[in-house]
Copies of this chain bind each other. A is one copy, B any other.
Amino acid sequence: MPYGELDQLAINTIRLLAVDATFNANSGHPGAPMGMAPIAHILFNKFMTFNPKNPDWVNRDRFVLSNGHGCMLQYALLHLFGYEVSMDALKHFRQVDSITPGHPEAHDTPGVEVTTGPLGQGFSNAVGLAVAQKHSAAVFNKDGYDLFTNYTYCFFGDGCAMEGIASEAASAAGHLQLGNLICVYDDNHISIDGDTACAFTEDVSKRFEAYGWHVIWVKEGDTDLDGMEKAIEECRKVTDKPSMIRLTTTIGFGSKLQGTHGVHGNPLKADDCKAVKAKFGFDPEKSFVVPQEVYDMYHKHAADGAAAEEEWNQLFEKYGESYPTEHADLKRRLTGVLPEGWQTKLPSYKPTDSAVASRKLSESVLEAIHEVIPELISGSADLTGSNNTRWKNAVDFQPPSTGLGDWSGRYMRYGVREHAMAAMMNGMASYGTVIPAGGTFLNFVSYASGAVRLSSLSHRRVIYVATHDSIGLGEDGPTHQPIETLAHFRALPNMMVWRPADGNECSAAYYMALTSKRTPSILALTRQNLPQLEGSTIEDAIKGGYVVLETPGAAVTLVSTGSEVAICLEAAKILKDQGKPARVVSMPCVEVFDAQPKDYRLTVIPDGVPSMSVEVMSTLGWEKYSHEQFGLNRFGASGPYKDVYKKFDFTPEGVVKRALATIDFYKDVKPLRSPVNRAFTNLI
């Protein structure tokens, strides 16, 4: 069907909704929506299959706006197609408690798949969505039952193209031959600093070709609707490569300032708003106008989407007759609930069991549970043998043509691409059928900070397997030894940071990570061996903090995590001999401990007993759980780990020395309150 006036009307309606909403908010980015309205119209109305009445339908096409500042484009589309994004919501764009925040947030707005805005993230999420789709299709599709057929579409701009995370993800996507991924590059030659000539003059098309992508250039992205349609069509036919459409557009198309950065991040001036409305044949005096025929056209497409879902539902029901096991498995996965009884597979340990590094304990968990949790997809950023993230008979997720695995594989080779790994995991978790876990050294989770933050903000069940968690990694030295890292992620809302002290705690960490449907986790794991503690149990550890050594009449409470708990237990023996009995608390996860009732927390860190934290990195934040802190507020050292621990006095004797100072220091303070007691409660 050739494009006609109604299409142009729809495109201009989208543009003007963005103009009006940003003007109304006196804030926002009209330029990208005005430039990308044509491609958005074609993509949503011609190609994408979705049901606005059920944004969760699993085989919907996914759309990601990686240039998330252009979110009024997405909000306008969601509104026009009939998602639960009302005209009133558009009028409350960028207002407190609206569902139309300044950048798209997946947990806020129906139809928004992933949380974008921080540049490069959405693009990388899209790669993850495409991975999850390929995998789900391989696992569940059967002859005559093409349950998973959706595409992932993504828009991205110059900013995303410049970000390293997107380069990493593009390279990974090319390697993975993700033919189900189609990305549109808004080549408008403008970024915030002005013309891209000032900083970004590379050949983006050639770069994507180098990654192994299929690339098309549509030169008239403002007007050539047929060209855009043909391009998307062609991309859909290329099934062995991801596709990138370089679309040359005019930012702020229609504005007096079109083609300049003046229209990127600021609303149009009042006279410009009127002029552009007049130019597009709209009443310059009216705002937030949607011609009924535009609604009608889009609602018809939405109805087609609803019908497609209905058809799919019937197919899925029939599938249940032929493939009852897969049917039940998929149904369950979509609820986010794990298979009944899975937790009985978690390893538990006795004190007599041998000392094992927690990265190896983590491997044992994965080995034990991977069969009962088929949605678990592990992987590593090129540290498989160090992170111990791969169970023995794992199959790699790889294009079959590589001979290295297949699409049903559950082990991801992310390459040395920590940031993309994290963002891909956010995308994979967003798809709805898998739970991703990915490994790197704890120190290099920091490389992924931008995406880790979005795991938390967007409530994604993502598991970071972060090994080599302290100076205990030894010889690699200060460049690899985390000092600030745990404080960083403990300060991040909605993130569980686990630092298990032994096998039972490691199992507890996985239990919580896997069952917390809306909270990501970082598991900080050792390189060095840890003894199995007397007094640890999975049941206790899932409370986040518990007493691992109770001592009547204790003179001090030692509060510790991970590899330092055993050192504290040794210190307690010495302290006992010196007539200063110590209690020892293991606190593998402060966030989970914080969520326990105050009564419980006070039994762990009671009033009247001075307390000291022991953790071999920054003390920042430990004041919340202890009166005094023993830590390492400097960089570490390169050497065998026992020498390094000794250098910094992290020995039973070093703990004893400071515990005695703590006991002495607080002997006259009355009442000596537990730090659990606070004058008021902060919002959390």
Whether the pair A664, B679 counts as a contact (CB closer than 8 A) is yes
The reply to whether B475 and A382 form a contact with Cβ atoms under 8 Å apart is: no
Residues of B within 8 A of A404 (CB): 197-198
Bound CA–CA A483/B68 (angstroms) = 20
Given known A-B contacts A475-B102, A678-B628, A175 and B163 have beta carbons under 8 A apart = no
A383 at the interface (CB under 8 A from B): yes
Cross-chain contact of A94 among B28, B634, B639 (Cβ < 8 A):
B639
Whether A102 pairs with B477 at a CB distance below 8 angstroms is yes
Give A684 Cβ to nearest chain B Cβ, in Å. Answer: 5
Q: Which one of A160, A163, A491 has the greatest number of beta carbons of chain B within 10 Å?
A: A491
A393 to chain B: which residues have CB within 8 Å? Answer: none
Assembled-state Cα–Cα distance A480/B454 (Å): 11
Cross-chain contact A666 with B638 (CB below 8 angstroms): no
Within the complex, the shortest CB–CB distance from A490 to chain B, in Å, comes to 6
CB distance from A89 to the nearest CB of B (A): 12
A454 partner residues in chain B, CB cutoff 8 A? 479
| Copies of this chain, count | 2
| A662 vs B679: C-alpha distance when bound (angstroms) | 5
Task: Known A415-B199, A633-B684, A643-B95; judge A168-B167 contact (CB<8 A).
Answer: yes
- A182 to B545 CA separation, bound complex (whole angstroms): 53
What's the nearest-Cβ distance from chain B to residue A379, in Å?
A: 10
Using Cβ atoms and an 8 Å threshold, which residues of chain B touch A199? 172, 175, 382, 413-415
- The interface bits of chain A over 469-496 (1 if a CB of B lies within 8 angstroms of the residue's CB, else 0) are 0000011111110011001111111100
Q: List the B side residues contacting A483 at CB < 8 Å.
A: 491-493
Chain B hits for A98, CB < 8 A: 638-639
Partner pick for A212 among B202, B477, B664, CB 8 A cutoff: B202
Q: How close is A229's CB to chain B, nearest CB, in angstroms?
A: 28
A295 at the interface (CB under 8 A from B): no
Closest to A175 in B: B201
Q: Which residues of A73-132 have CB atoms within 8 Å of chain B's CB atoms?
A: 94-98, 101-103, 105, 115-120
Distance to closest chain B CB from A575 (angstroms) = 15
Minimum CB distance partner of A264 in chain B: B385
Rounded to whole angstroms, the CA-CA distance of A638 and B92 in the bound complex is: 11
Contact A191–B415 (Cβ < 8 Å)? yes
A444 in the interface, Cβ–Cβ < 8 Å?
yes
In the bound complex, what is the Cα–Cα distance between A92 and B373 (angstroms)?
47
- Find the B residue at minimum CB distance from A612: B679
A28 (CB) vs chain B CBs: closest residue: B475
**Alpha-carbon separation in the docked complex, A630 to B446 (Å):** 27
Pick the interface stretch among A203-211, A304-312, A354-362: A203-211
**Docked complex Cα distance between A238 and B620 (Å):** 50
Q: Taking CB as reference atom, which chain B residue is nearest A644?
A: B96
Most chain B CB inside 10 Å of its own CB: which residue of A27, A413, A475, A643: A475
A673 CB within 8 Å of chain B: yes
With A103-B480, A478-B101, A479-B457 known as contacts, the answer to whether A171 contacts B200 (CB < 8 A) is yes
**Is B117 within 8 A of A164, CB to CB?**
no
Query: Is the CB–CB distance between A680 and B668 below 8 Å?
Result: no
By a CB distance below 8 angstroms, the chain B residues around A417 are 162-164
Contact (Cβ within 8 A) A661 B679: yes
Which residue, of A171, A191, A386, has the highest number of chain B Cβ atoms within 10 A?
Answer: A171
Q: Which residues in B have their C-beta under 8 angstroms from that of A118? A: 443-444, 447, 479-480
Known: A175-B199, A661-B679. A95 touches B639 (CB 8 A): yes
Q: Kindly list chain B residues whose C-beta atoms are within 8 Å of the C-beta of A383.
A: 192-193
| Inter-subunit contact A619/B682 (CB<8 Å) | yes
Beta-carbon contact of A484 and B476 below 8 Å: no
Question: Closest CB of chain B to A203's CB: distance in Å?
Answer: 4
Is B212 within 8 A of A633, CB to CB? Answer: no
Contact A212 B204 (CB under 8 A): no
Give the shortest distance, in Å, between A312 (CB) and chain B (any CB): 32
A165 interfacial by beta-carbon distance below 8 Å? yes
Q: Are B191 and A175 in touch, CB under 8 angstroms?
A: no
A185 to chain B, nearest CB (A): 13
Residues in chain B near residue A682, CB distance under 8 A: 619, 629-633
Find out whether the CB atom of A648 lies under 8 angstroms from the CB atom of B683.
Answer: yes
CB of A207 within 8 A of CB of B211, answer yes
Residues of B within 8 A of A172 (CB): 199
B420 and A637 form a contact (CB under 8 A): no
User: Hey, which chain B residues are within 8 Å of A120, CB to CB?
Assistant: 164
Bound form: Cα–Cα A673–B666 in Å: 10
User: Across the interface, which residues of B come within 8 angstroms of A192, CB to CB?
Assistant: 382-386
Q: Which residue of B lies closest to A451 (CB)?
A: B447
Residues of B within 8 A of A666 (CB): 679
Given contacts A162-B416, A417-B162, whether A197 and B402 have CB atoms under 8 Å apart is yes
Point out the residues of chain B lying under 8 angstroms from A595, CB to CB: none
A618 sits at the interface (CB 8 A): yes
A446-B453, A483-B493, A635-B493 given as contacts; is B206 within 8 A of A212 (CB)?
Answer: no
Query: Cβ of A474 and Cβ of B27 under 8 Å apart?
Result: yes
List of B residues within 8 angstroms of A647 by Cβ: 96-97
- A to B CB contacts below 8 Å, 14 in the list: A68-B479, A101-B637, A101-B638, A115-B479, A117-B480, A162-B417, A192-B383, A192-B386, A449-B449, A484-B488, A484-B492, A491-B618, A665-B680, A669-B671
Known contacts A103-B477, A117-B480, A162-B416; can you find 13 more A-B pairs with CB under 8 A?
Answer: A96-B637, A102-B475, A164-B167, A175-B200, A191-B416, A192-B385, A198-B402, A201-B212, A202-B210, A206-B209, A491-B621, A620-B621, A623-B675
